[in-house]
Structure 1
Amino acid sequence: MAAPVTNEWKWFSALALGVSLLKCLLINAYHSTDFEVHRNWLALTHSLPLSKWYFEDTSEWTLDYPPFFAWFEFGLSHLAACFDSEMLAVQNLNYASPATVLFQRLSVIVTDVVFIYAVKECCRGVWDEKRKDLLEQPSFILATLLLWNFGLLIVDHIHFQYNGLLFGILLLSIARHFQGRHLEGAFLFSILLNLKHIYLYITPAYGIFLLRCFCFTCSNADRSVQWRSFSVLRFTVLGLIVLSTFALSFGPFIALGQLPQVFSRLFPFKRGLCHAYWAPNIWALYNVADKALTVLGVKLKLLDITKIPKASMTGGLVQESQHSVLPSVTPLATLICTLLSILPALVHMWFRPNGARGFLRCLVMCALGSFIFGWHVHEKAILMAILPYSLLAVEQKEDAGIFFILTTTGHYSLFPLLFTAQELPVKILLMLSFTVFSFTSLKQLFRCGGRLLSTSEAVYLLGLVPLGLVCECVYPLTTWQKSFPFIPLLVTSVYCALGVIYAFIRLYILLFTFTDCGTEAKMKSQ
């Protein structure tokens, strides 16, 4: 099939260039402690031998990403020396000279080229030359939803991280599976796991999909497994790709006898059930329920106030803590809950495979299930579900409605990450622009299929407006701000948790009641 027409590449290039220019305008915006985290990693990988990378603790922000990301920082550090060599001194804690800021911001912008290329590859499957109106073209809508994603913009280019690079590899891996290039997709995901281990959340979807739809080459007429079609060769090649990638990543540290130390950095379970700023998940609701029961128990004199930990779950600290009334949650309990939440999706994909499109739906379910029930989940992890789900949102109305609920609540839950006054108009404008575009474009795309949202769903989402006014504008002016600074975060997490969990339930209902009619064949033909 011929490549898309020139006009389509013109608007794609315009979208990519426009968002890159916007990122440049945000270079001098507020940045979080993650900026110092990555500066420190530049310094320690540049200044110290390999044997000390995962032992260095001069800074509290020790290296806790897999080895491939450490090598990525090592490579960047040699470029950083051309900007300001002082940023590469381990003892220069909280160093943020103008040249340092410029380099680190530019490093995120430049590495986003991987994300841009991945978006282009994902859009190859949804080109629609029959629609003349640009706002009715699924490819244009998808490209905008991904390239101009509000959450990714503020997390990477204001808050500061390298998620664009990482999500670029993830989306490219997904695109390769849609194109039938499964070994390449598996290789890319193996690399991704060794860059950031949070993607373990979606590993079950990859494992079941590759086993069921790649290692088994045929299915019976009823779509059940044809066991005789199992390919030992494919399974062996797939295993070699994964094992060799991990061997390359962890091999040097195994040789040094440091694997336990590396793992202790990657999986620090002593950080507690929730992050300092609660992710909008089931544990936010659980914590609030425990707090409400505690207050009620004290008022009814059923609990001794002297034996209750002060602000145990609402102090905004990263620490182990105990619930007062409800049973305290352990890492094992969250693991069991997570596995149970994603098991139906995995079983469904095994017995009713729908090619790469079914895999993508299962991947989103795994990402959301892990976000809702996982241990010490960061609020930014919601992007792991939002970005891949964008590919499904432009294909059918049912997904578009759920996507809009998920992306609106998930993105709003990121608001407290930017708490300085000068960023308030920026985040409001970006959030509003992205939300309006998402709703109007998806509504136009599926205008013949009925309403995207029910009345109750619309009312819930409109409730974010007064919530934002109170949390961002009114509460900071009250005397309660000094005594109870965590209240806006608590309210935001709880309110958004309702929307995220609702979207997860809706996704499961859709999974078992709706037959996908995806475009895998179209992507293979590109």
Structure 2
Amino acid sequence: MGRKEKKDKDHKDDVCWLSVHGGVAALLLCIAVFALLVRVAVSIHPYSGAGDPPKYGDYEAQRHWMEITLNTPAKEWYRNSTINDLTYWGLDYPPLTAYQSYVHGLFLRFFHPDSVALFTSRGHESPIGKLLMRWTVLSSDVIVFFPAALYFIIVFYTGRRDNCKEDIAWHLAIILLNPCLILIDHGHFQFNCISLGFTIGAVAAIFSKHELVASVLFSLALNHKQMSAYFALAFFSHLLGKCLRRQKPFLEVLKLGLVVLGTFIITWWPYLYSVDAFMQVLSRLTPFERGIYEDYVANFWCTTSIIIKWKRLFTTQLLQLLSFNATILAALPSMVQQIRYPSNQGFLYALLNISFAFYLFSFQVHEKSILLPLLPASLLAVEEPHLFGWLTYYALLSMYPLLLRDHLILPYVSLLALFILFNYSPIRRQGRKERGFLSVWKVLLITLLLSCSLVLHLIYLMLKPPERYPFLFDAMIMLLCFSQFVLLAAYTNVKQWKFMSHSTSIEKEKKIL
């Protein structure tokens, strides 16, 4: 079958899926509208740094980037100057974020020029300005994240024999109603939906055998937020494993490499006129001077710092080396598995395991970085509903101190309740692994862990920590969440290696479509 015939067949498969599941279309639309309304409801609450001068918070950072990209030439966006003071929320994301800020800045300037005026707009918090800023995130979700999620659902369920209307609807709802993503993007205020949307699109493109499209989409994700590198080794190992099983592996790898290189060149073009300009941007993306961690994040370095004072005992350079080696070692089993036995299901586990490795061991991790392992976990939710529910619950808990500082306790509790309602909804079919009863010991352990987390919620909300240990409650939350993340990562790493006989369809492929 020729390349054109295969593409036509894939297109017909998608059309057939929509035709056969025509009754599902209205339900999926209702879910998307509901997910959008939930985002709108969260957006009326406070945001990071609201009314808190002089630097405010992430909301002001995003607004300031719109101001800078709109009022200065591209070559000045990452360079310190009298116009662009990098100490005041200097741009520290790749060029695609800068272009996105520019487009959103045009939108704000059209309706409310004062909100992005150079210098005078610092700390701008007018009602119309806040409304327009919230619209930029909502529109990003609708334009990027929602279509990507729908694309994945269509591809994931095309050709499956056990399709069920309830499962399809539930799966889309779980992806779109991720409480952590909604609270960070529409409460705290960020644009994670763009890079995560590109990543979902790339995964769906791989599932539909469009690896070149996947390479473009994932390159865009990397060029929007450098934290998308959490997924890079999974994409690399999976695509390499597939290429090695084809008739001309070198040519296949070369095609992918050229597509990635071309995407990066186009994105970085304004900064390729000199080595100095390129390095200036690169230096802004790697803030090693901030240390191996900030605040209290539930990863290895921060958790073990209670016993081992990493920052005191080791230089920043040595910590960079240690974290790099630890991350690679933790990611290596998943990479090897996908190179040897590439499969779609194994790829999703690799995305989860490798992003977990980065979250637990890499340099300069933030609380919000847990959104990255959560993404592949949501794509695996039908296969691993309990794992996804457990991870989401503790991911939320790990961000609880941050969200409480943003005065987002009401949407936090509301979205947690909504998530529990959807995740354990009776419309979802019970998988074979879920049938039967949990052992008494498992029930007791789960009850104990949930009780501890509920107590920590109340303690953090109602009590003041001792003056000698002002971050005691943060550390307790961090320890509990870290323990759960390690257990979940160990389980999913073992689970991934069970997919050693599911690559037969991939081995039959001859070349990239």
Q: Give the TM-score range, shorter chain.
A: 0.7 to 0.9
Report whether the alignment pairs 1:104 with 2:133.
yes
Provide closer, same or farther for how the CA distance between residues 287 and 107 of structure 1 changes in structure 2, counting only shifts above 3 A.
Answer: same
Give the equivalent residue in structure 2 for 1:116.
Answer: 146
Contact 1:43 1:77 in 2 (8 A): yes
Question: Which of 269, 274, 277 does residue 251 from structure 1 map onto?
Answer: 269
Larger mean CA deviation between 252-261 and 488-497 belongs to 252-261
Report whether the alignment pairs 1:63 with 2:63.
no
Report whether the alignment pairs 1:41 with 2:26.
no
Shift, 1:217, TM fit? 4.3
Larger mean CA deviation between 250-259 and 337-346 belongs to 250-259
Give the equivalent residue in structure 2 for 1:343.
Answer: 332
Shift, 1:440, TM fit? 4.5
Deviations 1:315-341 (A, max 9, x none): xxxxxx4259x9997111001000000
Superposed CA RMSD in Å reads: 3.0
Determine helix, strand or coil for the equivalent of 1:96.
Answer: coil
Shift, 1:464, TM fit? 5.5
Shift, 1:412, TM fit? 2.1
Contact 2:63 2:116 in 1 (8 A): yes
Report whether the alignment pairs 1:501 with 2:490.
no
- For 2:69 and 2:266, the matched residues in 1 are separated by 17
Deviations 1:139-186 (A, max 9, x none): 122101101111111011101111112211110110010000111011
Shift, 1:260, TM fit? 1.5
Provide closer, same or farther for how the CA distance between residues 28 and 402 of structure 1 changes in structure 2, counting only shifts above 3 A.
Answer: closer
Give the equivalent residue in structure 2 for 1:30.
Answer: 46
Provide closer, same or farther for how the CA distance between residues 200 and 119 of structure 1 changes in structure 2, counting only shifts above 3 A.
Answer: same
- For 2:204 and 2:437, the matched residues in 1 are separated by 27
Shift, 1:488, TM fit? 2.2
Give the equivalent residue in structure 1 for 2:30.
Answer: 14
- For 2:69 and 2:316, the matched residues in 1 are separated by 42
**Structure 2 unpaired stretches of 5+:** 1-12, 49-56
Contact 2:331 2:357 in 1 (8 A): yes
Question: Which of 266, 276, 279 does residue 260 from structure 1 map onto?
Answer: 279
Question: Which of 151, 168, 185 does residue 139 from structure 1 map onto?
Answer: 168
How many residues align? The count is: 475
Give the equivalent residue in structure 1 for 2:52.
Answer: none
Contact 1:152 1:383 in 2 (8 A): yes
Contact 2:465 2:471 in 1 (8 A): no
Matched AA of 2:24: E
Contact 2:195 2:228 in 1 (8 A): no
- For 2:464 and 2:395, the matched residues in 1 are separated by 29
- For 1:264 and 1:158, the matched residues in 2 are separated by 29
Contact 2:341 2:503 in 1 (8 A): no
Contact 1:126 1:519 in 2 (8 A): no
Larger mean CA deviation between 147-156 and 238-247 belongs to 238-247
Deviations 1:284-322 (A, max 9, x none): 32012337xxxxxxxxxxxxxxxxxxxxx9xxxxxxx42
Give the equivalent residue in structure 1 for 2:400.
Answer: 415
Provide closer, same or farther for how the CA distance between residues 117 and 436 of structure 1 changes in structure 2, counting only shifts above 3 A.
Answer: same
Question: Which of 48, 54, 78 does residue 54 from structure 1 map onto?
Answer: 78
Provide closer, same or farther for how the CA distance between residues 474 and 384 of structure 1 changes in structure 2, counting only shifts above 3 A.
Answer: closer
Deviations 1:2-39 (A, max 9, x none): 23322211111111101111222223211011101101
Give the equivalent residue in structure 2 for 1:87.
Answer: 115
Matched AA of 2:22: T
Larger mean CA deviation between 62-71 and 400-409 belongs to 400-409
Shift, 1:263, TM fit? 1.1
Determine helix, strand or coil for the equivalent of 1:240.
Answer: helix
Determine helix, strand or coil for the equivalent of 2:293.
Answer: coil
Contact 1:178 1:520 in 2 (8 A): no
- For 1:249 and 1:164, the matched residues in 2 are separated by 19
Provide closer, same or farther for how the CA distance between residues 131 and 178 of structure 1 changes in structure 2, counting only shifts above 3 A.
Answer: closer
TM-score, length basis structure 2:
0.84
Contact 1:345 1:362 in 2 (8 A): yes
Shift, 1:110, TM fit? 0.9
Determine helix, strand or coil for the equivalent of 1:339.
Answer: helix
Contact 1:216 1:231 in 2 (8 A): yes
Contact 1:402 1:503 in 2 (8 A): yes
TM-score, length basis structure 1:
0.82
Question: Which of 320, 330, 334 does residue 331 from structure 1 map onto?
Answer: 320
Contact 2:167 2:428 in 1 (8 A): no
Deviations 1:359-406 (A, max 9, x none): 2221211101100111111121112111222222313xxx33333322
Determine helix, strand or coil for the equivalent of 1:345.
Answer: helix
Matched AA of 1:126: Y
Contact 2:195 2:222 in 1 (8 A): no
Matched AA of 1:47: N
Contact 1:12 1:143 in 2 (8 A): yes
Determine helix, strand or coil for the equivalent of 1:504.
Answer: helix
Provide closer, same or farther for how the CA distance between residues 476 and 172 of structure 1 changes in structure 2, counting only shifts above 3 A.
Answer: closer
Contact 2:195 2:221 in 1 (8 A): yes
Shift, 1:351, TM fit? 1.6
Provide closer, same or farther for how the CA distance between residues 493 and 107 of structure 1 changes in structure 2, counting only shifts above 3 A.
Answer: same
Contact 2:465 2:473 in 1 (8 A): no
Give the equivalent residue in structure 1 for 2:228.
Answer: 199
Give the equivalent residue in structure 2 for 1:357.
Answer: 345
Provide closer, same or farther for how the CA distance between residues 506 and 85 of structure 1 changes in structure 2, counting only shifts above 3 A.
Answer: same
Report whether the alignment pairs 1:446 with 2:431.
yes
Give the equivalent residue in structure 1 for 2:215.
Answer: 186
Provide closer, same or farther for how the CA distance between residues 351 and 236 of structure 1 changes in structure 2, counting only shifts above 3 A.
Answer: closer
Give the equivalent residue in structure 2 for 1:322.
Answer: 312
Question: Which of 454, 467, 474 does residue 489 from structure 1 map onto?
Answer: 474
Paired residues for 1:445-484 under 5 Å: 445-446=430-431, 449-450=434-435, 458-463=443-448, 465-480=450-465, 484=469
- For 2:329 and 2:36, the matched residues in 1 are separated by 41
Provide closer, same or farther for how the CA distance between residues 451 and 189 of structure 1 changes in structure 2, counting only shifts above 3 A.
Answer: farther
- For 2:406 and 2:255, the matched residues in 1 are separated by 54
Shift, 1:234, TM fit? 2.6
Give the equivalent residue in structure 2 for 1:237.
Answer: 255
Contact 1:16 1:147 in 2 (8 A): yes
Question: Which of 268, 272, 288 does residue 291 from structure 2 map onto?
Answer: 272
Matched AA of 1:67: P
Give the equivalent residue in structure 1 for 2:51.
Answer: none
Shift, 1:417, TM fit? 2.0
| Identity within the alignment, % | 26
Give the equivalent residue in structure 2 for 1:177.
Answer: 206
Provide closer, same or farther for how the CA distance between residues 130 and 202 of structure 1 changes in structure 2, counting only shifts above 3 A.
Answer: closer
Paired residues for 1:418-429 under 5 Å: 418-419=403-404, 423-429=408-414
Give the equivalent residue in structure 2 for 1:3.
Answer: 17
